[in-house]
Chain A
Amino acid sequence: MDEILEILEKDGRASVEDIAKMIRKKPDEVKKTIKRYEKEGAILKYKAVINKDLIKDNESEVRALIEVNIIPQKDLGFDKIAERIYSFPEVTSCYLISGTYDLLVVVEGKNLHTVSNFVAEKLSCLENVRGTATHFLLKKYKEDGVILKHKSENKRIAISY
């Protein structure tokens, strides 16, 4: 992967000037490359990784992983039905996978009730959906490579040879 992407994947806020110094390129050149990635869709967006457990006034939020079995459609395979599913705003991620079921759908809702309603009333009744199995998420330990824990303090001695 290009170094610019590697840097931005770790720190989406890294400035063009800093990146330029880190890889010894001209800022203009870096800027152009980033613009290109954005235009091509290689960089889709920049966002913060939030540990919602630490937000005090957090409206409670429930997440479920749903295994979905579907009947593929002629000519379209899984894509069309996947699109119908991932277009719901409740769906935060949707993957086609190999194994005993077809789609892994991640759904977020205010509470158990809203999530189960979504499954019962929207997802299960879709034509081509053969069956679902819903797993509610109990605790997040690590997400997208980030361990969701307080930053551990520095354990090194402040000065050494």
Chain B
Amino acid sequence: MQISRIVEKMQPSGIRAFFDLVLGMKEVISLGVGEPDFVTPWQIREAGIYSLEQGFTSYTSNKGLYKLRLGIHRYLKNKYALDYCPDEEILITVGVSEGLDLLLRAIINPGDKILIPQPSYVSYGPVTELARGVPVYIDTSKDGFKITPKLLEKYIDKKTKGIVLNYPINPTGVSYRCKELVDINKYLLKHKILCISDEVYGDLTYDFMHTAFPTLTGAKKNTVYFNGFSKSHAMTGWRVGFACGPKEIIAAMTKIHQYTIMCVPITSQMAAAEALVNSKRSVEQMKREYNRRRLFMVAELNALGLKCSRPQGAFYIFPSIKCTGLSSMDFSRKLLEEEKVAVVPGTAFGSCGEGYIRISYASSFDSLKEALVRLKRFLEKRK
């Protein structure tokens, strides 16, 4: 059977082999996990169980349960003074991942270009290609892992249709302050480039208030805003996210969604609706815990000589390992083999991640401490 050329070309790459190596090994301390170490708060799990007991086992409307869309409408209104109409401007998706796929398929005509600042989450490029678009990767490693209008200027042309802006950023933990976003927004509006804003880590911003992109002047009609429950509410396995945007774009996305997915599982939607009403305290508690680990890890890593600037959000740190002279992949592989500590090589997030590793601090404090002891031993051997 001839596999589609686009799929054939998609990279499984060296990373896959490394991941398999990690998964095949026992008693590894993993700092390579991209999800919370907390289980979903009980009141949310209980709402899921209760919905099953009540016999909620059917399809929902394609857009998602009205109750949930209304909850999201209220959440955005309270938190950011954003007003998205629950009937026409909100779509419930299977995580942010599905939402991004829908959007890219909904807007791309063959050859349209999508800007993707790197290092970035791994799906943006391949999903763009599947939609017959052309990903244009922007190397941000020399600009503090952030884009600026000046940097964008080098990458845009007439074919540029949109930019995937993710902040706080997986894998670097870096985020944008309001002022920086204002400049980016002005630039995007001027050049009619759609902002595809993946803000799934927005609730996990520590040093300053998170700015939702559509709150910027004139941005709402030029932005599709993505968020979900996975990270902030420790609900990765439930697979619930949402997209908010101009009604014609949401309508186009809903068209694809109704043919491919139909609707998000009702149990997950019921649980997510509860999450919006009743879990502020649990979310705050988790955030405080992440913050302590963040400050602790940054201090320790810098003391070990792995230079890292303080990340402002998510649960990742992206330290430089250039001082060891090893490549990201060699470093990660050796660290795993010699000390049984797993991290993700920076190159997994784009070639400009060379010289860095991603460390996730979504692990218990005890594991973090043990991992640091091993990391220290590993580095001392190389002095």
The reply to whether chain A is a binding partner of chain B is yes
Structural contact, B292 and A157, CB atoms closer than 8 A: no
Name, among B22, B33, B121, B293, the residue most crowded by chain A CB atoms within 10 Å (CB to CB). B33
User: Whole-angstrom distance from the CB of B298 to the nearest CB of chain A?
Assistant: 9
- Chain B stretch 278-302: residues in CB contact (< 8 A) with chain A: 288, 292-293, 295-296, 299-300
Q: Flag whether A45 is at the interface (Cβ < 8 A).
A: no
Q: Flag whether B122 is at the interface (Cβ < 8 A).
A: yes
Structural contact, B296 and A18, CB atoms closer than 8 A: yes
Q: Flag whether B204 is at the interface (Cβ < 8 A).
A: no
Q: Flag whether B32 is at the interface (Cβ < 8 A).
A: yes
User: Whole-angstrom distance from the CB of A105 to the nearest CB of chain B?
Assistant: 30
Structural contact, B295 and A24, CB atoms closer than 8 A: yes
Structural contact, B30 and A158, CB atoms closer than 8 A: yes
Contact string against B for A residues 122-161, beta-carbon threshold 8 Å, 1 for contact and 0 otherwise: 0000000000000000000000000000000010111111
Contacts of B369 in A (CB 8 A): 18
Q: Flag whether A120 is at the interface (Cβ < 8 A).
A: no
The distance in angstroms between the C-alpha atoms of A154 and B121, with both chains bound, is 24
Q: Flag whether B35 is at the interface (Cβ < 8 A).
A: yes
Structural contact, B344 and A161, CB atoms closer than 8 A: yes
Q: Flag whether A11 is at the interface (Cβ < 8 A).
A: yes
Structural contact, B295 and A158, CB atoms closer than 8 A: no
Structural contact, B293 and A22, CB atoms closer than 8 A: yes
Q: How many A residues face the partner with a CB closer than 8 A?
A: 16
Q: Flag whether A40 is at the interface (Cβ < 8 A).
A: no
Q: Flag whether A23 is at the interface (Cβ < 8 A).
A: yes
Contact string against A for B residues 336-368, beta-carbon threshold 8 Å, 1 for contact and 0 otherwise: 000000101000100000000000000001000
Contacts of A159 in B (CB 8 A): 19, 22-23, 30, 32-33, 342, 344
Name, among A3, A21, A23, A24, the residue most crowded by chain B CB atoms within 10 Å (CB to CB). A21
User: Whole-angstrom distance from the CB of A25 to the nearest CB of chain B?
Assistant: 10
Structural contact, B170 and A158, CB atoms closer than 8 A: no
Structural contact, B22 and A6, CB atoms closer than 8 A: no
Q: Kindly report which residue of chain A lies nearest to residue B349, judged by CB atoms.
A: A161
The distance in angstroms between the C-alpha atoms of A3 and B122, with both chains bound, is 36
The distance in angstroms between the C-alpha atoms of A11 and B292, with both chains bound, is 13
Q: Flag whether A71 is at the interface (Cβ < 8 A).
A: no
Structural contact, B33 and A158, CB atoms closer than 8 A: yes
User: Whole-angstrom distance from the CB of A81 to the nearest CB of chain B?
Assistant: 37
Structural contact, A23 and B37, CB atoms closer than 8 A: no
Name, among B28, B122, B170, B292, the residue most crowded by chain A CB atoms within 10 Å (CB to CB). B292
Structural contact, B292 and A22, CB atoms closer than 8 A: yes
Q: Flag whether B34 is at the interface (Cβ < 8 A).
A: yes
Given known contacts A6-B288, A156-B35, A161-B34, is B300 in contact with A21 (CB within 8 Å)? yes
Given known contacts A21-B299, A161-B121, A161-B122, is B292 in contact with A156 (CB within 8 Å)? no
Structural contact, A160 and B32, CB atoms closer than 8 A: yes
The distance in angstroms between the C-alpha atoms of A157 and B37, with both chains bound, is 11
Contacts of A43 in B (CB 8 A): none
Structural contact, A161 and B348, CB atoms closer than 8 A: yes
Q: Kindly report which residue of chain A lies nearest to residue B37, judged by CB atoms.
A: A156
The distance in angstroms between the C-alpha atoms of A157 and B348, with both chains bound, is 17
Structural contact, B292 and A7, CB atoms closer than 8 A: yes
Structural contact, A158 and B342, CB atoms closer than 8 A: yes
Structural contact, B365 and A11, CB atoms closer than 8 A: yes
Q: Kindly report which residue of chain A lies nearest to residue B39, judged by CB atoms.
A: A155
- Chain B stretch 19-48: residues in CB contact (< 8 A) with chain A: 19, 22-23, 25, 28, 30, 32-35, 37
Contacts of B37 in A (CB 8 A): 154, 156
The distance in angstroms between the C-alpha atoms of A159 and B30, with both chains bound, is 7
Q: Which residues of B contact A (CB under 8 A)?
A: 19, 22-23, 25, 28, 30, 32-35, 37, 121-123, 170, 288, 292-293, 295-296, 299-300, 342, 344, 348, 365, 369
Q: Can you name 24 A-B pairs with beta carbons within 8 Å?
A: A3-B288, A3-B292, A18-B296, A18-B369, A21-B295, A22-B296, A23-B292, A23-B295, A156-B33, A157-B33, A158-B22, A158-B33, A158-B342, A159-B19, A159-B22, A159-B23, A159-B33, A159-B344, A160-B34, A160-B35, A161-B34, A161-B121, A161-B170, A161-B348
